[in-house]
Amino acid sequence: MADLHKASSAGSPTPEEMEQLRARLEEAEQTLDAIRNGLVDAVVASGPQGDQVYTLTGADRIYRVIVETMNEAALTVDLDGAILFCNGQFAGMVRLPMEEVIGQKLTRFVADPQRAGMNRLLKQAQAAPTKRRLVLKANDGTVIHVQLAASPLQVGSGNSICLVVSDLTELEASARSVAVLRKQQQDLEQSEDALRRAGEDLARSNHDLEQFAYVASHDLQEPLRLVMSFLGLLRDRYKSKLDAQAGEYINYAVDGAKRMSALITDLLAYSRVARDQKPAMVNMRESVDQALSMLKGVILESGAKIDIGELPTVTADGGQLSQVFQNLIANAIKFRRAGVAPEISIGSRMDGPQWLLWVADNGIGIDPKQALRVFDLFQRLHTRDEYPGTGIGLAICKKIVERHGGRIWVEPGTEGSIFYFTLPEGSPA
């Protein structure tokens, strides 16, 4: 039309010019008819230089068929970013029908902070293919992490840009999950490392304490024997020269020295639990018989009746298991009711993957509130005048049983108690 106006202003057009204008008008009318009848796909894009018509004919139709059948989202935009065409995948991604997407500015579907990056991508793509990761925002507000691959494209008589959009949302979520898992793994490894160091420190401390208890107890025995020996000599040789009160004082000193000797002996036994383990196949009846032979005197004196049931063979330290039975039987005899002969029952049975063993008595029983305390080191429920002892015997039992992978507890009662302990079937000592 501009050429026609120019020709009119310059004077009457020549026949040749009129023929050229008529041919161009006929071509334009044919294009418009084809667009109206759906024979040619076209988009009218408004831009700074006015409206521009983009058509898809001939070879361009092949491009459109390829895009429509792609699994990836794809679209074509003009150089100003107006969407000329998109496939169903892109329309579904931005949650709009295709007819509503076409004609929109691509930046409408880009998250605000990312729009400058989109503009740079479109500018770079006019010259050469390029890629960029961006965040799109669908019509319903859904955030979509994508990678855009942009390339220059000739559509009809105009230049445009083809974009292939890869949805990275699941990949981003997976990456974040992996990052979280890695952080958790690092935290776990640090915690395990700290726990391992703490365990090593505790083991070292326990070893040092056991070593100290062993050395101290062993070294204390000799001077204590010396004190007891000289006190005995003093009492025997100078008995006639000392008054009754002095003799009583010496007896107090000798009694105190004996208690100290018993305490040191028990401490040595406690410290040896971890040092002297010698695992082997052990018939527990033999361990019980060994304990009974050590207690023969008090058994005869008290008139105790002992019933022994079936006992298993386990992998353990026989001497230490004998110590457990000796301590439990000795307590059953010691804490008997006045005027009542002790009755003690020893037995066992399988309890899942472990052996359950027990020593039951008819003694004075234990207050249920003290059921846990009795296994603590140096804990006594009675005075020394009532019942002698150091308060270490049950602590030794607990340490031995736990060293063998089991546990020990008491079922308290007012007329007797039952001490239970477990050992794994294989009982790795």
Q: Would 181 be classed as within a structural domain? A: no
Mean pLDDT across 119-145: 91
- 290 and 417, same domain (yes or no): yes
Q: Do 242 and 311 belong to one domain?
A: no
In whole angstroms, give the CA distance from residue 25 to residue 290: 123
Of 4-18, 200-214, 298-312, 407-421, the range with the lowest mean pLDDT is 4-18
pLDDT, residue 110, reads 92
Whether residue 420 is found in the same domain as residue 282: yes
The count of other CB atoms within 10 Å of the CB of residue 426 is 12
Domain boundary among 248, 276, 304: 276
Does 65 share its domain with 155?
Answer: yes
Q: Say yes or no: 226 and 357 in one domain.
A: no
CATH number of the domain residue 132 falls in: 3.30.450.20
Confirm whether 345 is domain-assigned. yes
DSSP 118-167: HHHHHHHHTTS-EEEEEEEE-TTS-EEEEEEEEEEEEETTEEEEEEEEEE
User: pLDDT tens digits, residue range 106-131?
Assistant: 999 998 888 999 999 999 999 899 99
For 149-171, the pLDDT digits (tens) are: 999 987 555 688 989 998 888 77
Cα–Cα distance, 210 to 399 (Å, whole number)? 12
Considering the domain boundaries, does residue 179 fall inside one? no
CB distance 285 to 277 below 8 Å: no
CA 162 to chain centre: 48
The answer to whether residue 359 scores a pLDDT higher than 80 is yes
Higher-confidence residue of 344 and 245: namely 344
Cα–Cα separations (whole angstroms), residue 352 to 212, 277, 327, 356, 423: 39, 26, 26, 9, 11
Give φ, ψ of 298 to 5 degrees. -70, -30
Percent of the chain whose predicted confidence (pLDDT) is above 70:
72
Q: How far apart are CA 418 and CA 361, in angstroms?
A: 7
pLDDT at 311: 93
Domain stops at, among 243, 259, 276: 276
- 95 and 1 in one domain? no
Tell whether 242 and 272 lie within a shared domain: yes
pLDDT given at position 324 = 92
Q: Pairing state of beta strands 305-308 and 343-351?
A: parallel
The DSSP secondary-structure symbol of 113 reads G
Query: For residue 329, what is the domain's CATH number?
Result: 3.30.565.10
**Domain count within the chain:** 4
Same domain, 54 and 141: yes
For 180-205, what is the mean pLDDT?
82
Angle at 215 between CA 211 and CA 216, to 5 degrees: 115
Give me the residues paired with residue 148 across strands.
132, 165
Per the model's pLDDT, the better-predicted residue between 53 and 420 turns out to be 420
| Domain-located, residue 180 | no
**Single residue among 150, 167, 184 that ends a domain in this structure:** 167
Give the mean pLDDT of 264-281: 68
Mean pLDDT of the chain: 78
Domain membership of residue 341 as a residue range: 278-424
In a domain, 192, yes or no: no
Distance, first Cα to last Cα, the chain: 105
Domain shared by 282 and 237, yes or no: no
Query: What percent of the chain is modeled with pLDDT above 90?
Result: 26
The model carries a pTM of: 0.46
User: pLDDT at residue 408 above 80?
Assistant: yes
| 140 and 221 housed in the same domain | no
In a domain, residue 176? The reply is no
Task: Write the pLDDT tens digit of every residue in 59-87.
Answer: 455 456 566 666 789 998 999 899 988 88
Regarding whether 215 and 122 lie in a shared domain, the answer is no
Q: Which of 327, 324, 336 is nearest to 401 (CA)?
A: 324
pLDDT tens by residue, 373-402? 788 765 655 555 555 556 778 888 998 899
- Between CA 91 and CA 144 the distance in angstroms is 13
253 and 298 in a single domain? The answer is: no
User: Does residue 161 lie in a domain region?
Assistant: yes
